Amino acid sequence: MNIDDCWQNRSRDTEGRLQADNDRFPHGIKWLASYMHARGLKLGIYTDYGTSTCEGYPGTPLEHQEVDANTFASWDIDSVKVDGCNSNTSTMNYAYPRFGDYLNATGRPMLYSCSWPDYLNDHVNWTAVADKCNLWRMCVVPPCPPVAHVRGPTLPSCGAHAWPDLALLPAQHDTGTRG
């Protein structure tokens, strides 16, 4: 199960850590992760590289990356999706790999889902993305390329531990006639 945007409290705690909204998650995220794990399920969580998430909640900018990675690990999170709203795209090639390194340094295995390529358009180093992210978002804001056009630059970077998330891409729609 993945928790998307709006799970956070509107501010960090006194230690600078993200915290769950008490009304939505009265027992906290660690409790929810334990609940899911006891049922054989995994728990994923959302954050954003920007100063705030797409909906205005606290994000994970450079100065909070290490503490947020450690917080997610302490909550026993299994997957982290990182969006790119309200961020500086010129620093994404540095910030996303850095956050992946912080996640790995926690010692807890977490799937790392990056939205990095979607914000950089045609200026993506697919080898670097595949090296640092397990999964990457291809298109959020239409017009998105049809699936048939995605094969080019990204597929050579795919492997057992790195793949594009094609869920957000529209299938090719044939508007022609057959005859």
Instruction: Report the alpha-carbon distance of residue 137 to residue 106 in Å, rounded.
Output: 24
Under DSSP, the state recorded for 132 is H
What is the distance of C-alpha 116 from the center of its chain? Answer: 9
Classify residue 149 as exposed, middle or buried by CB count within 10 Å of its CB (0-12, 13-18, 19+). Answer: exposed
Question: Would you say 151 and 177 are in contact if contact means Cβ atoms under 8 Å apart?
Answer: no
* Whole-number pLDDT of residue 162: 55
Structural domain boundaries in the chain: 2-168
Q: Which two tokens stand for residue 60?
A: 């994970």
- For domain 2-168, the CATH class is alpha beta
Q: What are 112-140's pLDDT values in tens digits?
A: 998 888 888 667 777 888 888 888 776 54
Instruction: Report the alpha-carbon distance of residue 52 to residue 8 in Å, rounded.
Output: 11
Question: Would you say 171 and 136 are in contact if contact means Cβ atoms under 8 Å apart?
Answer: no
Mean pLDDT within 153-168 = 54
> pTM to 2 decimals?
0.83
Q: What are 2-27's pLDDT values in tens digits?
A: 999 999 999 999 999 999 999 999 99
Lowest mean pLDDT among 25-39, 88-102, 129-143, 153-167: 153-167
* Helix (H), strand (E), coil (C) string for 53-93: CCCCCECCCHHHHHHHHHHHHHCCCCEEEEECCCCCHHHHH
Q: What are 32-89's pLDDT values in tens digits?
A: 999 999 999 999 999 999 999 999 999 999 999 999 999 999 999 999 999 999 999 9
